[in-house]
Chain A
Amino acid sequence: MSIALFCIGVAGVLTRRNAIIIFMCIELMLNAVNLLLVAFSKMHYHALAATNPNAGIDGQLFVFFIMVVAAAEVSVGLAIIVMMYRNTHSIDVNFLNRLKH
């Protein structure tokens, strides 16, 4: 399921033209990874719990770091989008072709 979520995210990034929707799709990708990490963490716990009661805890720790970084990225990303909106009054990425030549 997390792979499916991830694929929806990737497809969204590649096909949508609205910067905010692309941005949401990227967040979707990150959250899909979170889900996957938790699932793997559970899997490792079941496999190794007999020898190591802490097995699989790393995966859950990683999830928190992803959340923190994602929050930092959102703040910077939204600031960039707002900055662009102020100058162009649009958030359509098709607008972005001035650099082509």
Chain B
Amino acid sequence: MNSILLSAIWGIVMMFSGVFTQSKSAIRYTAILGLILLLLVTCMDLGGCRVDINVHKMLYFDTFGMLGNSIAFASTLIYVLLSGRDMEKVGHNLAEYFALVFFILCGLSIVTSFNTLLMLFLGIEIMSIPLYILTGSDKRNLKSNEASLKYFLMGSFSTGLMLLGIALLYGASSTGTFFIDDLWAGKTSSEPLFMAGILLMLVSMGFKVSAAPFHFWTPDAYDGAPTVFTSFMATVVKVSIFVGFVRLFDEGFGASKEKWQLFVALVTAATLFIGNITAVFQQSVKRMLAYSSIAQAGFMLLSLMALNQVSKEGILLYAGAYSLATIGIFAILIRMKDYTFEGFNGLAKQQPVLAATCTIFLLSLAGIPLTGGFFAKYYMLSSVVATGHYLWLVIFAVLCAAVSVYYYFRVIQAMYFKDGDGSTEEQPSAGFKGLLVFVAALILLLGIFPQTLLDLLSKIVYIY
């Protein structure tokens, strides 16, 4: 509850900060302050110290959702610290961009704590509508316009599908309710109406997390959007929708798992395959990262298959590792002159720190041991193995991870083993480098002690 209230209020504060001050750094510091506060109140929330408002059970706050929130807020904080300066280059409305970011955070804290389909719908819309605007924020750039229009049309189309799904589930429920716990109540066999509802929800949530075959908007929207906002869309927003996705299917449809599991398995396999294979053929690193985010979504979908304790812990770990690494890579990518693979040629000689941290981020995304990405992937796979079914999917996922090594290593190879004048637009500041090293250290820490993140957070719960 705390985080929903604070992020909504801070969004308005940010809007007004643009009126009262012209100083860009003042606006940025206000945003950073807001994010730190947001992180603090989420920790307080975890400890049970929260503003109590009677929401008629429409929202339900559990540790899973709140841990998801705190990971999202922490990665947003790192994101703003790393790339806040680059937001200024997009346009003149810096304060409004930050306001929209805070409204998105408000939406995502609703998505991670919904208890009725109504709240799920509202949360997803509160997230999506500011995102359409952020995608198109580079108003003069035709690519940005195009990305924004495509994203908007596909996004609202999938909203329509989701609403039809919700309406069908409502019609199928025996008591006429939107509460996700009661949807299955009083049913023994699956009715066609109920199944159609579940499938439509799967399709529309698949759209939002860019799972194949509903991923067509992703490369275009990610490529066309200003790179700073692509970074935000691909990480914070995506993983939070995943938290909501897992929550919906666990609590709402968990009882009818056998019926829909096959569909999820097919979607997962398609996502892994298309994401990884298409990423291999890309020439631009930004577009490659868009496809790699589809491939990573495939891995996160594995947790939806398993729906056990391991998978819930795993998705949080994955969310942390994936967000940190991707935010780091994008922060470096924004500074590059040239977004193609050739643009990275010889970066190691010019900017050794950037190249080294970038290597760690890429290794983590590829899932090489000693990085956070390895254990995240390991948790996902072992959660599916624990269910005892769908072993073919696990083998397939491992093969796809092997393919992914190829395109991540292409960047590393370009940086270290090729000669060229790959360089950044301007000399990165010492603070930026320091922060990158810190993020890389966090990823290594996650890789060496994978329980650290989860333990640390559960300790906070224990202290309160």
Contact = CB atoms under 8 A, between A and B. Distances in A.
A33 interface: yes
A67 B167 CA distance: 14
Contacts of B175: 44, 48, 55
Contacts of B149: 19, 80-81, 84, 93, 96
Contacts of B121: 65-66, 69
Contacts of B220: 99
B326 interface: no
A69 B122 CA distance: 8
Contacts of B337: none
Nearest to B219: A99
Contact of B140 (A33, A66, A87, A99): A87
Interface in A55-101: 55-56, 58-59, 61-62, 65-66, 69, 72-73, 76-77, 79-81, 83-84, 87-88, 93, 95-96, 98-99
B168 to A, nearest CB: 8
A83 B125 CA distance: 21
A66 to B, nearest CB: 6
Interface string B140-159: 10110111111011001101
B171 interface: yes
Nearest to A99: B220
A13 interface: yes
A58 B176 contact: yes
A61 B152 CA distance: 26
Contacts of B153: 13, 19, 22-23, 26, 93
B175 to A, nearest CB: 7
Interface residues of B, number: 40
B178 interface: yes
Contacts of B170: 37, 40, 58-59, 62
A98 B142 contact: yes
A99 B160 contact: no
B141 to A, nearest CB: 9
Nearest to B150: A96
A41 B417 CA distance: 66
B129 interface: yes
B133 A6 contact: no
Nearest to A62: B118
Contacts of B136: 80, 83
B224 interface: yes
Contacts of A37: 167, 170
A39 B171 CA distance: 9
A29 B176 contact: no
A29 B160 CA distance: 6
Contact of B178 (A36, A55, A62, A77): A62
A36 B176 contact: no
25 contacts: A6-B164, A26-B153, A26-B156, A32-B164, A33-B160, A33-B166, A36-B167, A36-B171, A37-B170, A40-B176, A43-B171, A58-B170, A59-B167, A66-B163, A73-B159, A79-B133, A80-B132, A80-B152, A83-B145, A84-B149, A87-B140, A87-B142, A98-B142, A99-B223, A99-B224
Interface of B: 118, 121-122, 125, 129, 132-133, 136, 139-140, 142-143, 145-150, 152-153, 156-157, 159-161, 163-164, 166-168, 170-171, 175-178, 219-220, 223-224
Given A43-B171, A76-B133, 16 more contacts: A6-B160, A6-B164, A9-B160, A29-B157, A36-B171, A40-B176, A41-B176, A44-B175, A59-B167, A62-B178, A72-B129, A73-B129, A88-B145, A93-B153, A96-B149, A99-B143
Interface pairs A-B: 5 shortest CB-CB: A44-B176, A29-B160, A40-B171, A33-B163, A36-B167
